[in-house]
Amino acid sequence: MNWSHVKLIFHREVRDQLRDRRTMFTICVLPILLYPLMGMVMLQVAQFHREQHVSLGVFGYENWPASRPLIADSDETQIHWKKLTVTKEIRETLGQLRILENNKGSETESKAPKNFIVDAKLAEKLLKEVQADAIIWIPKGYDGTFTSTQLVVLSNQRWERSQLAVRLLAERLDSWHQAAVRDRLASTTLGVSVLDPPQIKQVDVSVPESKRALIWTKILPFVMLVWALTGAFYPAIDLCAGEKERGTLETLLCSPARRKEIVWGKLLTVMCFSVCTALLNLFSMHFTTAIVMTQFSNMGATEMVHSLGPLPIQSMGWLLLLVIPISAMFSALALAVASLARSTKEGQYYLMPLLLVGMPLVMLPMIPGVTLSPGTSVIPVTGAVLMSRAMMDGEYTQALLHLPTVATITVLCCLLSVRWAVRQFESESVMFRDSERSSVTQWIRNVWRLRDETPSVNESFFCGLIILICLFFGRLSLGGMTLEWASIVKSTVVIQIGVILGPALIMAAILTRSITKSLRLSRPSAMDMAVTIGLAFCLHPTYVAIATAVSNEYKLGEQTTAMLTQFDDIIGSTSIWYVLLVLALLPAICEELVFRGFLFAGLMRNGGHVRAILVTAVLFGLSHGVLQQSITASIMGLVLGWLAYKTGGVACTIAFHVVHNSISMLLAASSHNKQPIPQFLSWALEIDDGRLCYSAAWSTLSVGVAISLVAWTATRNMKDRRTNVQKSWGRVAKEAKQAIAR
């Protein structure tokens, strides 16, 4: 790569963007103005903010016990009491109010009934008439015991003031009741002290700066990442879609700068603006907060200032470290997506979904309880945010422990995003896309007429999506079933055949010319089959170890654990042949035909075997309902995908899947039935905590054997391929010689 080209393109693009007033306003001016304006508004609002008072109407206050009044004369609380007397007009309204006793007439001042009906419209009218936010009605004969009589409170929960009035009234009644109970206890031998809770002396050892950092560490990464994403948007659209629109991209493409160099030049520009936007926001927010908090401090809001003062300056350093890789990733993604668009308007439509996809990853760290762990560190963006937060909190050991994972994932994501962007620029169909015609009938006709032997990439993605959606609804509708063998059989058959295999078979029949090729049905060699089965046996201990590690990291919920235990019980108490048929053979056939068959065939197109392996593994993982299962299934999906690629069909992966599932079922059933380990397997199995598991010796040995088998398979296939290539070249050379001789 010629870096002088990259530098030239970068300089030009930056200069170009700096001359664009709209971009400059969004990226530079807006952040500088936004926070001071927000701060100004906050200060203004704070000045006008007063404690909200509510008006509470009371009917029948004369019925309240006189010994302990509810309304004190020197009442300075938020409640403005309105002692209401039942005037003629109110009586008319009350008469119409129909607070009816079940058996008696509509005497409003009688003892309140247990059940009564309120006409909502009339109640609202009454509230407006007496100009109260809520009305309490104290019936005759009320003795303050809360036992025999019921206080009625009329409110309109649609009004915020009414909600507040009810809350304040409840608090007042509660404190009144507490005082009454105390008085009564005081007159008994028990004394008032029985009501006193244990005394707690709270000593907060945190320094104010670290307390402030705690709040900021949650807010700032979110704010900064949102702005990093926003900052990448506009330049990305202008640099790709804008250039296409102006026709300048074509000129650049026939210049000496290669596509990769153009992408890097543009990427650095987008990244530069993304970082600048994030940092400008950060600094603007910091200074505005500092000034606003000083003002609040002067106004006496010291508690707020202590908890939300300016961000400790050293924490900002860690945020700077975070923003660079995240901006790089967002910029590459924005650039790749923007390159699909033909105009800036279209670019804005495309980038919106990117924002929607990116948001959950940015918001995930804000959920209470989400901390840096091996599990969260592998999630893109989230891991990086959590690590920067750990750094800001001073948990350096914890952060350093997860640094390799977070750095690897972030760098990997960045590289993948850049690679995607470069591929978009190298694709003629993306760069010189014509406007598409949107004729549905034409499209349907062409789908049938132009169908190929195998599905297209888009058809594969579509099928995967359909299956995931069907699985979601299928599982929801089958969720209410009781866990027993019959229901397990029913749900497995419905899910596997109806939901997973069904859509793929239908699509293969409609959208392709060859179902055999679409499902990748081919006869495997005996050696491939033998090696695959051997690999399934050898990799099972590793799978169990991974599954255990995943379960330890992401704890199963109580309900799921109970369900799995019940599931094991059912398997243990059912004939093993049925279990193997329904839970090992059927899923293996259906899932392999779909994931390593139909989907794989489509995704393999245009040399996309890596894409096929990765995407089918992820889809295979997502098709499993439980998160922990999804992770392990995705890992196994990678192995199955690789085998599907190497063996050229699904027969071997079906065999692998059957063996794998069968071992799992046999181990579960044997553990449940507490069967002794057969003598010939004593070297491989042992009983630990009542469950059958692999011995340490076999666990270690199996890894070695598995690696050998994998290496051998890889080498053998490569050798075969090389031989084929050599053969074909040999044939070409021979034909050429014959031609020359003629």
Partner 1 sequence: MELVQVQNLCKSYPDAELGEFKALDNISFVARAGEVFGLLGPNGAGKTTALRILATILQPSSGTAKVFNFDVTTQADYVRHSIGFVSNNTAIYDRMSAWEMVEYFGRLYALHSDHLYPRMEKIFRKLQMDEFRNCPGAKMSTGMKQKVSIARALIHDPPVLIFDEASLGLDVMVARALQAIVLDLRDQGKCIIYSTHIMREVERLCDRVAIVYKGKILDTGTLPDLANRHNQNDFEELFFELLMQEDVDLRMQRSPVSLPIAGVSPALRPSPFGSNR
Residues in the site for partner 1, rule: CB under 8 A? 4-5, 8, 12, 15-16, 19-20, 246-248, 250-251, 253-258, 428-429, 432, 436-437, 442-443, 446, 449-450
Taking the complex as a whole, the smallest distance from the CB of residue 508 to partner 1 amounts, in Å, to: 20
Q: Compare residues 147 and 429 and give the one whose CB is closer to partner 1.
A: 429
Taking the complex as a whole, the smallest distance from the CB of residue 342 to partner 1 amounts, in Å, to: 13
Residue with Cβ nearer partner 1 (253 or 687):
253
21 vs 29, 67, 226, 284, 559, CA distance in Å?
10, 75, 22, 20, 57
Instruction: Tally the C-alpha atoms within 13 A of residue 427's C-alpha that lie toward its C-beta.
Output: 14
Going by C-alpha positions, the residue among 721, 730, 585 that lies closest to residue 648 is 721
> Which lies closer to partner 1 via its Cβ, residue 246 or residue 523?
246
| Radius of gyration, alpha carbons of the chain | 36
Contact 117, 88 (CB under 8 A): no
Question: Counting Cβ atoms within 10 Å, is residue 369 exposed (0-12), middle (13-18) or buried (19+)?
Answer: exposed
Residue number, 16 or 395, with CB nearest to partner 1:
16
* Contact between 631 and 622 (Cβ < 8 Å): no
Name all contacts of 386-390 with Cβ < 8 Å and 24+ positions apart: 387/322, 388/217, 388/221, 388/318, 388/319, 388/321, 388/322, 389/217, 389/218, 389/221, 389/365
Identify any residues that bridge with 153 across adjacent strands, giving them in sequence order: 136
Give the nearer residue to partner 1 in terms of CB position, either 15 or 68. 15
- Side chain identity, residue 336: A
Scan for tokens 């699904």, then name that residue.
Answer: 650
Q: Minimum distance between the CB of residue 660 and partner 1, rounded to whole angstroms?
A: 40
In whole angstroms, the minimum distance from the beta carbon of 250 to partner 1 comes to 6
**Least Å distance between CB 734 and partner 1?**
24
399, 217 Cβ separation under 8 angstroms: no
Q: How far is the CB of 260 from partner 1 (least distance, A)?
A: 12
CB of 257 to partner 1, least distance (A): 6
**CB contact set of 96 (below 8 Å; sequence gap of 6+):** 119, 122
C-beta of 7 vs 211, nearer to partner 1: 7
State both tokens at 694.
Answer: 């692999």
Least Cβ distance, residue 466 to partner 1 (angstroms): 22
Q: How far is the CB of 511 from partner 1 (least distance, A)?
A: 14
CB of 473 to partner 1, least distance (A): 32
Nearer to partner 1, 447 or 549 (CB): 447
Please give the helix or strand (H or E) that residue 253 lies within, else none: helix 248-253
Distance CA 596, CA 612 (A): 9
We find the least distance from the C-beta atom of residue 606 to partner 1, in angstroms, to be 12
Nearer to partner 1, 246 or 727 (CB): 246
Sign of CA dihedral 337, 341, 344, 348: negative
* Residue number, 16 or 107, with CB nearest to partner 1: 16
Burial of 104 (C-beta count, 10 Å sphere; 0-12/13-18/19+): exposed
Closest by CA to 591, choosing from 504, 476, 475, is 504
Closer to partner 1 by CB, 4 or 738: give it: 4
- The dihedral region occupied by 300, where left means phi > 0, alpha psi between -120 and 50, and beta the remainder, is left
Closest among 659, 665, 613, 661 to 640, alpha carbons compared: 613
Output 193 or 441, the one with its CB closest to partner 1.
441
Token duo for residue 315: 């924490």
10 Å CB burial of residue 639 (0-12, 13-18, 19+) is: buried
Q: Residue 15 or residue 167: which is nearer to partner 1 going by CB? A: 15
Q: In the bound complex, what is the minimum distance in angstroms from residue 31's beta carbon to partner 1?
A: 22
Q: Which is nearer to partner 1, 239 or 328 (CB)?
A: 239
Q: Provide, rounded to whole angstroms, the least separation between the CB of residue 19 and partner 1.
A: 4
Q: How far is the CB of 252 from partner 1 (least distance, A)?
A: 8
- Pick the closer one to partner 1 by CB: 25 or 432: 432
- Residue 164: half-sphere exposure toward Cβ, Cα within 13 Å: 14
Q: How far is the CB of 428 from partner 1 (least distance, A)?
A: 6
Is the Cβ of residue 27 or residue 165 nearer to partner 1 in the bound state? 27
Beta carbon of residue 421, minimum distance to partner 1 (angstroms, whole number): 18
Number of CB atoms found within 10 A of residue 206's CB:
10
Question: Could you give the angle at which helices 558-572 and 485-493 cross, rounded to 10 degrees?
Answer: 100
Least gap, CB of 350 to partner 1 (angstroms):
21
Question: What type of residue is 706?
Answer: A
Residue closest to 146 by CA, chosen among 177, 107, 178, 192: 177
How many Å apart are CA 645 and CA 637, to the nearest integer? 12
Nearest residue (CB) to partner 1, 143 versus 250? 250
* Residue 241 CB, nearest approach to partner 1 (Å): 14
Going by C-alpha positions, the residue among 310, 239, 323, 332 that lies closest to residue 276 is 323
The smaller minimum CB distance to partner 1, of residues 248 and 294, is found at 248
Structure tokens at 84: 């209401």
CB 402 within 8 Å of CB 382? no
| Cross-strand pairs, 82 | 57
For residue 650, CA distances in Å to 429, 513, 522, 654 come to 32, 19, 7, 6
Name which of 432 and 578 has its Cβ closer to partner 1: 432
624: DSSP letter: S
Let me know: does 402 contact 375? Beta carbons within 8 Å.
no
